[in-house]
Amino acid sequence: MVVFYQPNIGMKRDKVKSGDILINTNTFKPAHCGIVVDGQMVIHATTRGILIEHIDMWNEEADMFRANPEMNAADTKKVVDVARNILGSADYGKTRAVIKSTFGSSTAGEDLYARLTKYNERLEDHQGMVKNVYCSELVILCYQMAWFQGKISERNSKLFINLDGKHAWPSTLRRYLRSNPFFKELGLFKKQPNA
């Protein structure tokens, strides 16, 4: 697969855009994912907490995905605002990552929509959206909450990721994005040479 972006080899950083999704390609340990905000920073949920780090510090090869067609500035801001809210209010959910992601269905259902309604109410009350998340759940929530306003019609937005993030591994998210015409696979993020 083509290398979309690799730090420190002359590629322009402006190829990477807010809202882009990174999903590690490593199959020999649990995968990891994050979402790009502000062009060069990645928000991701790790055992060290919910972090924001420069994309050049992403230390694994990753598949990169982007909305198709690309989001306008207002839609990108919606996604980034959700990511920043999660960064400011959530902790890493180890139980969610180990238990919930393994023992549950990633099929979106009424439990998901009830949870999103609760998160939306918390946002309106300035309580912080979610208390605990893991990496793929964080990414999925960014695209869900950007369009979910508690209305059934909002669930049908082309960029609403129709997975239950509480029960979705990064590999599940990758399969979903690859099969969805409203997302495109950009290519690989390669870690820094000699990193």
Sorted by where each starts, the structural domains of the chain and their CATH numbers stand as 3-189 (3.90.1720)
What does the longest C-alpha to C-alpha distance in the chain come to? 49
Are residues 123 and 76 in contact, defined by beta-carbon separation less than 8 angstroms? no
From 52, 25, 26, select the one nearest 39 (Cα to Cα). 52
Residue 30 has pLDDT above 80, yes or no: no
Report the pLDDT value the prediction gives residue 36, as an integer from 0 to 100: 97
Are residues 25 and 70 in contact, defined by beta-carbon separation less than 8 angstroms? no
Q: What is the 3-state secondary structure (H, E, C) of the chain?
A: CCEEECCCCCCCHHHCCCCCEEEECCCCCCCCEEEEECCCEEEEEECCEEEEEEHHHCCCCEEEEEECCCCCHHHHHHHHHHHHHHHHHCEECHHHHHHHCCCCCCECCHHHHHHHHHHHHHHHCCCCCCCEECHHHHHHHHHHHCCCCCCHHHHHCCCCCCECHHHCCHHHHHHHHHHCCCEEEEEEECCCCCC
For the chain, give the mean pLDDT.
Answer: 88
Beta bridge pairs of residue 36: 42
**Which amino acid makes up residue 173?**
L
Report the pLDDT value the prediction gives residue 87, as an integer from 0 to 100: 95
Report the pLDDT value the prediction gives residue 194, as an integer from 0 to 100: 72
Report the pLDDT value the prediction gives residue 149, as an integer from 0 to 100: 67
The pLDDT-based confidence of 190 (bands split at 50, 70, 90) is very high
Q: pTM of the full predicted structure?
A: 0.92
Report the pLDDT value the prediction gives residue 156, as an integer from 0 to 100: 59
CA 190/CA 6 separation, integer angstroms: 5
